[in-house]
Amino acid sequence: MLVTKGLTRACTTATHATTLTTLSLLLEAASSVMPLASPEAPPRADADDALAPDWPARGAVDFVNVSLRYRPGLPLALNGLTCSIGAGEHVGIVGRTGAGKSTIAAALFRLVEIESGTVRIDGVDLRTLGLHAVRGRALAIIPQEPVLFRGAVRRSLDPLAQHSDEALWAVLETVDMARTVLGLEGELGAESDESGSNFSVGERQLLCFARAMLRAPRLLVLDEATASVDHLADERIQRAIRGAMRSTTLLTVAHRLHTVMDYDRILVLSDGKCAEIGAPHALLQEPASSLSELVDLIGGEVGLKLRDIARRSASTAGAKQE
Ligand SMILES: Nc1ncnc2c1ncn2[C@@H]1O[C@H](COP(=O)(O)OP(=O)(O)O)[C@@H](O)[C@H]1O
Ligand SMILES: [Mg+2]
């Protein structure tokens, strides 16, 4: 985890950074609490003042020929990525390990500065903004390894103590975690350790999702947990997202094709580039598409089921438009 080291080093100059040890926590922190101090990325920029107060009101994202490497000398993790995501669109991001999926989140939150190209949200070039504006506005991320803050559950949900208990319970209800928290000694005041080890990975992700929801983001990036989220927890997360994020732009990095087969579009990443982007059913009509290849690789019953989900979702989408 080179970037962890790099970012941790960058962070030790920030005031609260000493306990930040993992990239996940940095991602979280970046999206919810503090700016990372780094000379080339000031917390404030002149352009911030000109920014509409409700930016990003729509949550549309444009990547134009974006290249990024984690450190000089390392290969490009994004290599000329170009794609546009519409306001309120739900896009699943798939591709092999190392294709650059998580790096898309890093570029959006400017955890790593891009080397060339442009990332725009609602038409605003992120590089013209200070980090405060990029991370403090209505963008949120749920990282691959969800990490809770040390201390009470309340603090993990609402690190800046901006919300009422009622609001906290309401989001816990939405993500189907209210009962779990009610069952804890101390409820919202129950202590969790830094790694959140008293919660399962799935529960931690639900809590991170609850935290993201409290911020009512216009743009949410969900980096699906790879490890040991049981199917039940996975379904809970997906249900909660579907319910709560209808009009929010949603980018979901999916490790299971299941998760995103009924999304509006799927972006297949390959070697840091967009190999293709399109509605799942449409891509699956093309036998040589990258998505078809991925589904065929799985094959069998599961492959058929995936195609079926895509087909049904396409016909519902068609019915809605009529
Ligand atoms: N923290 C890091 N430091 C250096 N290289 C990294 C780091 N994270 C990812 N990479 C490299 O960047 C490329 C894209 O990685 P990543 O975005 O994590 O892929 P994915 O999420 O699709 O598995 C890979 O070659 C990976 O090895
Ligand atoms: Mg990843």
Digit-coded pLDDT (tens) for 256-297: 898 899 999 999 999 999 999 999 999 999 999 999 999 999
CA dist 268 and 279 (Å) reads 11
265 and 184 fall within a common domain: yes
Domain-embedded: residue 265: yes
Whether residues 318 and 221 fall in one domain: no
Ligand 1 pocket test, candidate residues 25, 102, 145, 255, most atoms within 8 A of CB? 102
Phi-psi region of 7 (alpha: psi -120 to 50; beta: other; left: phi over 0): alpha
Asked which of 13-17, 42-46, 58-62, 280-284 is least confident by mean pLDDT, the reply is 13-17
Chain CA centroid to CA 90, Å? 12
Contact present, 139 and 56 (Cβ < 8 Å): yes
Answer yes or no: do 272 and 138 share one domain. Answer: yes
Residues with CB under 6 A from ligand 1: 1-3, 70, 74, 77, 95, 97-103
Task: Check residue 124 and give its pLDDT.
Answer: 94
Q: What is the pLDDT of residue 21?
A: 31
Residue 7 located in a structural domain: yes
User: Which listed ligand is nearest to 226 at the C-alpha?
Assistant: 2
Q: Are residues 110 and 182 in the same domain?
A: yes
The mean predicted confidence, pLDDT, of the chain is 82
Residues 257 and 270 placed together within one structural domain of the fold = yes
Share of the chain above pLDDT 90, in %: 47
Boundaries of domain holding 156: 2-42+59-278
Q: Are residues 154 and 34 in the same domain?
A: yes
Total count of domains within the chain: 2
Q: How many angstroms is it from 104 CA to the middle of ligand 2?
A: 9
Comparing 24 with 150, which gets the higher pLDDT?
150
Report pLDDT digits (tens) over 50-107.
888 889 999 999 999 999 999 999 999 999 999 999 999 999 999 999 999 999 998 9
| 51 within some domain | no
CATH number at residue 197: 3.40.50.300
Whether residues 307 and 272 fall in one domain: no
* CA-nearest residue, atom 18 of ligand 1: 102
Nearest ligand 1 atom to alpha carbon 3: 1
Contact 157, 207 (CB under 8 A): yes
Q: Is 272 a domain residue?
A: yes
Looking at the structure, tell me whether residues 172 and 291 fall in a common domain. Answer: no
Instruction: Compute the distance between CA of residue 26 and CA of residue 3 in angstroms, rounded to an integer.
Output: 10
- Residue 41's pLDDT band, with cuts at 50, 70 and 90, is low
Least confident residue range of 33-37, 122-126, 221-225, 304-308: 33-37
Ligand 1 centroid, distance to 81 Cα (angstroms): 15
Contact 82, 63 (CB under 8 A): yes
Closest ligand to the CA of 79? 1
* 50: in domain: no
- 284 and 189 in a single domain? The answer is no
Model confidence pTM above 0.85 = no
Residue 54, in any domain of the structure: no
31 and 137 belong to one structural domain:
yes
Indicate whether 105 and 117 sit together in one domain. Answer: yes
Q: Please indicate, yes or no, if residue 53 is contained in any of the structural domains.
A: no
Instruction: Give residue 104's pLDDT.
Output: 94
Please give the pLDDT value at position 29.
Answer: 47
Based on the domain organization, do 18 and 110 belong to the same domain? yes
